């Protein structure tokens, strides 16, 4: 892995000069794709399972049964010795020997919009710059010319979808609102002859648009967007979005829910070569009746997540796919008067599997019964042991995927910025990759 030196002033000057001239590009000393080809490895993909609304760590990955803060949640043994997770996740309990569980994620953002922006990008929300989501960076840095469908996809998301940010709108995630069902506007509604006539008319209009507005065509990606759309509409790879050919047993294993179908489609997409897929599960904002609300969502998550890991392993795709399950923050140890839990960025949990991450690792821990803590007093707020920041986790994911996390990118307004402000954590990675992390620091 090439180490990118951010202190080289002459390089920064050159990039600034190019930006001043209207050139925005990422200067790579060696692309991750080239490195993968050289080593004979399959380029890695990323599947993010986005738990929208603030998944409670206490009802999922970090239960504290028998305590006031733990509430009614019970623990269940897992395939990792000594590790218990919530009894809401019995199928995932059988898969924990495949994953890295981080119980000490920490953030400073307790608002949904700000928390989501931070966890999706690794950077806090600011008014002057839109940062690209982790998936957008992966798609940008690991292109595959053989993929004719979008390389960055979100399944089941609302308006809070992953953006391309300063990389450009073309790296926004392609949105599929009801995965596994019919995709609208993907097939022509007229005969082939009529479609050919329409394309001729569209080509004529495109030529006129380009002739009179050459700069606008470049800036809006007008011609490129049309050509990519037409290519996708005629591609056999569109079948990756469909699950009709999957067996009834497989579809049942994932669960007949929007999220379950989304996880199945995600497996099909990475199998096709798509670089980054997000699958969204809404409904975790449980300020009222938290216990039952979290159980309802866990019942959807559990079979889909467990089956996804099993299928990726069986198809020899887990080592080349990073699977990340994360939320914008956690829920408070204190149960409120309405039986709910409120927003809590102080600590929460994340699960990472595949892509060179350790198997059966549990990192960090949270205090036991802390529901009576005076949370208004920062000095008295309990803290997790061995905290992990979002930027450090994302630097580790980028490193494991072969993405230059320290790469300095000059934005369209001439601002130099790195993909990630964190540093890779060698202890999260398997030994051979961890040694290479140590060699560059």
SS (H, E, C) 28-69: CCCCHHHHHHHHCCCCCEEEEEEECCCCCHHHCCCCCCCCCC
- Cα→Cα distances 206→148, 202, 225, 294, 347, Å: 21, 6, 11, 51, 52
Q: Specify the pLDDT at position 381.
A: 73
Report the chain's terminal Cα–Cα distance, integer Å. 12
> What's the predicted TM-score (pTM) here?
0.85
Query: What does the domain layout of the chain look like in residue ranges?
Result: 9-182+246-439, 184-241
Decide the pairing of beta strands 174-176 and 152-155.
parallel
Q: Specify the pLDDT at position 217.
A: 56
Task: Please answer whether residues 303 and 254 qualify as being in contact, where contact means their C-beta atoms are separated by less than 8 angstroms.
Answer: yes
Q: Specify the pLDDT at position 91.
A: 98
Q: Specify the pLDDT at position 79.
A: 98
Alpha carbon 285 to chain centroid, angstroms: 19
pLDDT in tens, the chain (441 residues): 333 333 333 333 333 333 333 333 333 433 444 444 434 467 899 999 999 999 999 999 999 999 999 999 999 999 999 999 999 999 999 999 999 999 999 999 999 999 999 999 999 999 989 999 999 999 999 999 899 999 999 999 887 899 999 999 999 999 999 999 866 655 666 666 776 776 677 777 777 777 767 666 566 665 666 666 666 666 788 999 999 999 999 999 999 999 999 999 999 999 999 999 999 999 999 999 999 999 999 999 999 999 999 999 999 999 999 999 999 999 999 999 999 999 999 999 999 999 999 999 999 999 888 876 555 666 677 888 999 999 999 999 999 999 999 988 888 888 999 999 999 999 999 987 877 775 555
Query: What is the rounded distance in angstroms from the CA atom of residue 334 to the CA atom of residue 282?
Result: 22
Q: Which among 155, 95, 91 is positioned nearest to 303, based on CA atoms?
A: 91
Query: What is the rounded distance in angstroms from the CA atom of residue 90 to the CA atom of residue 88?
Result: 6
Q: What share of the chain is helix, strand, coil (3-state, %, to 5)?
A: 40, 15, 45
Q: What is the dihedral of CA 300, 302, 307, 308, to 10 degrees?
A: 80
Task: Please answer whether residues 425 and 396 qualify as being in contact, where contact means their C-beta atoms are separated by less than 8 angstroms.
Answer: yes
Task: Please answer whether residues 181 and 261 qualify as being in contact, where contact means their C-beta atoms are separated by less than 8 angstroms.
Answer: yes
Helix 134-141 / helix 390-401 crossing angle, nearest 10 deg? 20
> 9-182+246-439, what's its fold?
Alkaline Phosphatase, subunit A (3.40.720)
Backbone angles phi and psi of 385, in degrees to 5: -85, 135
Q: Specify the pLDDT at position 34.
A: 44
Number of Cβ within a 10 Å radius of residue 395: 24
What is the dihedral sign for C-alpha 410, 412, 414, 415?
negative
> What is the SS3 assignment for 85?
strand
Query: What is the rounded distance in angstroms from the CA atom of residue 119 to the CA atom of residue 160?
Result: 12
Task: Please answer whether residues 47 and 304 qualify as being in contact, where contact means their C-beta atoms are separated by less than 8 angstroms.
Answer: no
Q: Which residues pair with 363 in a beta bridge?
A: 102
């Amino acid at each position: 892995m090439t180490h990118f030196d951010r202190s080289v002033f002459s390089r920064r000057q050159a990039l600034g000069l190019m930006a001043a001239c209207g050139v925005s590009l990422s200067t790579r000393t060696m692309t991750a794709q080239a490195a993968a080809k050289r080593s004979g490895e399959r380029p890695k993909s990323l599947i993010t399972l986005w738990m929208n609304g603030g998944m409670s760590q206490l009802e999922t990955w970090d239960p504290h049964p028998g305590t006031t803060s733990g509430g009614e949640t019970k623990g269940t043994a897992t395939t990792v010795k000594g590790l218990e997770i919530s009894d809401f996740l019995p199928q995932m309990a059988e898969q924990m020997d495949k994953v890295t569980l981080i119980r000490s994620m920490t953030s400073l953002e307790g608002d949904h919009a700000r928390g989501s922006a931070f966890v999706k990008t690794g950077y806090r929300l600011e008014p002057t710059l839109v940062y690209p989501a982790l998936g957008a960076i992966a798609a940008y840095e690991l292109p595959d010319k053989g993929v004719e469908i979008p390389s960055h996809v979100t399944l089941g998301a609302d308006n809070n979808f992953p953006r391309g940010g300063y990389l450009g709108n073309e790296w926004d995630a392609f949105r599929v609102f009801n995965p596994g069902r019919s995709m609208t506007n993907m097939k022509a509604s007229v005969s082939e002859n009529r479609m050919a006539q329409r394309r001729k008319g569209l080509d004529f209009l495109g030529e006129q648009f380009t002739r009179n507005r050459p700069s606008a065509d470049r800036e809006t990606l007008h011609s490129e967007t049309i050509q990519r759309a037409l290519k996708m509409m005629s591609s056999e790879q569109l079948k990756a979005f469909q699950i009709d050919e999957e067996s009834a047993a497989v579809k049942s294993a994932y669960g007949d829910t929007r999220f379950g179908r989304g996880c199945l489609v995600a497996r099909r997409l990475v199998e096709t070569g798509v670089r980054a897929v997000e699958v969204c599960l809404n409904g975790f904002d449980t300020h009222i009746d938290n216990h039952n609300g979290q159980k309802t969502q866990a019942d959807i998550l559990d079979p889909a997540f467990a089956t996804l890991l099993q299928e990726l392993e069986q198809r020899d795709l887990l080592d080349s796919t990073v699977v990340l399950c994360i939320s914008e923050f956690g829920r408070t140890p204190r149960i409120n008067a309405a039986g709910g839990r409120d927003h809590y960025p102080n600590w929460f949990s994340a699960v990472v599997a595949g892509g060179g991450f350790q198997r059966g690792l549990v990192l960090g821990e949270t205090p036991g019964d802390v529901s009576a803590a005076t949370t208004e007093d920062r000095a008295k707020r309990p803290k997790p042991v061995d905290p992990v920041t979002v930027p450090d986790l994302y630097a580790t994911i980028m490193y494991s995927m072969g993405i230059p996390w320290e790469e300095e990118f000059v934005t369209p307004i001439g601002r130099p910025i790195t993909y990630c402000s964190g540093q890779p954590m060698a202890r999260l990675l398997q030994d051979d990759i961890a040694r290479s992390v140590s060699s560059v620091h």
